[in-house]
A and B are shown apart, each in its own frame.
Chain A
Amino acid sequence: MNRREFLKRSLALAVGAGALALPGNLGKNLGAAAAGPVDLAAVKGGEAPEMFDRGISALGGIGRFVSKGQTVVVKPNIAWDVEEALGANTNPALVARIVKRCLEAGASKVYVFDHTCDLWKRSYARSGIEEAASRAGATVVPADQGNAYRKETIRGARTLKETRVHELVMKSDVFINVPVLKSHGGAGLTMAMKNLMGIVWDRGEMHSRGLHQCIADLSLLRKPDLNVVDAYRVMVRSGPRGTSARDVAVRKAQVLSTDIVAADAASAKIFGTEPGAVEYIRQATELKAGTMDLDRLRIERISL
Chain B
Amino acid sequence: MLRGHGWHAPWMFAARVQVFPALLRWGVTILLFAGMALLAGRFYCSLLCPLGLFQEAVHGLGRRKLPGYRRGTPLRYLVLAAVILSMAAGSLALFNLLDPFAVFGRGSTQILKPLLVSANNLLASIPGEPSRILHHLPAAPVAGTAFFSTALFFCALGAWAFLRGRPFCDALCPVGTFLGLFSSSPLVSVRFDADACIGCRQCDQACPTCCLSSRDLRVEHDRCVLCLSCLDACRTGALRLGTPKGNEALQRRGLIRTAFGAAAALALSGIRNRWNSPALSGASAPGPAPVSPPGSFSHDNFTSRCIACSSCVNACPAGIIRPALSAWGFAGLFQPRLDYRFGYCQYECKACTEACPTGAIEPMSLEAKRRSQIGRARFEKQACIVVKNGTACGACAEHCPTQAAHMVPYGGSLSIPQVDTSLCIGCGACQYACPALPKAMTVSGLRYHGTARRPWEAEEGPVVDPLEEFPF
Mutual binders A and B: yes
Contact across chains for B346 and A122 when beta carbons are under 8 A apart: yes
Question: Are A241 and B399 touching (Cβ within 8 A)?
Answer: yes
Taking CB atoms, residues of chain B closer than 8 Å to A294 are 472
Q: Indicate whether B462 reaches chain A with its CB closer than 8 angstroms.
A: yes
A100→B394 CA distance, assembly (Å): 36
Alpha-carbon distance A204/B432, docked complex (angstroms): 10
B406 within 8 A of A: yes
A269 in contact with B413 (CB, 8 Å): no
Smallest CB-CB separation from A239: which chain B residue?
A: B398
Indicate whether B382 reaches chain A with its CB closer than 8 angstroms. no
Knowing A119-B318, A185-B397 are in contact, say whether A141-B463 is a contact too (CB < 8 A).
no
**Contact-residue size bin, chain A (C-beta under 8 Å from the other chain):** 35 or more
A11 CB-CB contact with B under 8 Å: no
**At the interface, yes or no: A121 with Cβ under 8 Å from chain B?**
yes
Q: A42-B472, A142-B135 are in contact. Are A244 and B402 (CB under 8 A)?
A: no
In the assembled complex, the Cα of A249 lies from the Cα of B347 at a distance in Å of 23
Residue on A nearest B407 in the bound complex, by CB: A185
A186 and B402 within 8 A (CB): no
* B274, chain A: closest CB distance, angstroms: 40
Among B93-101, B200-208, B355-363, B452-460, the stretch that binds chain A is B452-460
Contact B138 A208 (CB under 8 A): no
A141→B406 CA distance, assembly (Å): 32
Query: Of all chain A residues, which has the CB nearest B392?
Result: A211
- Chain A residues 143-161 with CB under 8 Å of chain B are 144-145, 147-148
Instruction: Report B110-148 residues with CB < 8 Å from chain A CB.
Output: 125, 129-132, 135-136, 138
Least Cβ–Cβ distance between A256 and chain B, in angstroms: 13
> A243, B456: Cβ atoms under 8 Å?
yes
Are A250 and B348 touching (Cβ within 8 A)?
no
Tell me if A148 and B398 are in contact (CB < 8 A). Answer: no
- Report if A133 contacts B (CB, 8 A): no
Assess whether B27 is interfacial by the CB under 8 Å rule. Answer: no
Find A141's partner among B132, B392, B403, B464 (CB 8 Å cutoff): B132
Give bound CA distance, A110 to B395, whole Å.
31
Which 6 A-B pairs have CB atoms at the shortest separation, nearest pair first?
Answer: A186-B394, A185-B397, A204-B435, A248-B462, A208-B435, A210-B391
The interface of chain B, by Cβ under 8 A from chain A, is 125, 129-132, 135-136, 138, 317-318, 343, 346-349, 385, 389, 391-395, 397-403, 406-407, 413, 415, 433, 435-436, 455-456, 459-467, 470-472
Residue positions of A touching B, CB distance < 8 A: 42, 44-45, 81-82, 85, 87, 111, 117-119, 121-122, 126, 139-142, 144-145, 147-148, 168, 184-188, 203-205, 207-213, 231, 233, 236, 238, 240-241, 243-253, 265-266, 269-270, 272, 277, 279, 294, 299, 301
Complex A-B: 9 CB contacts under 8 Å: A122-B317, A141-B132, A144-B138, A186-B407, A208-B435, A211-B391, A243-B402, A246-B461, A251-B467
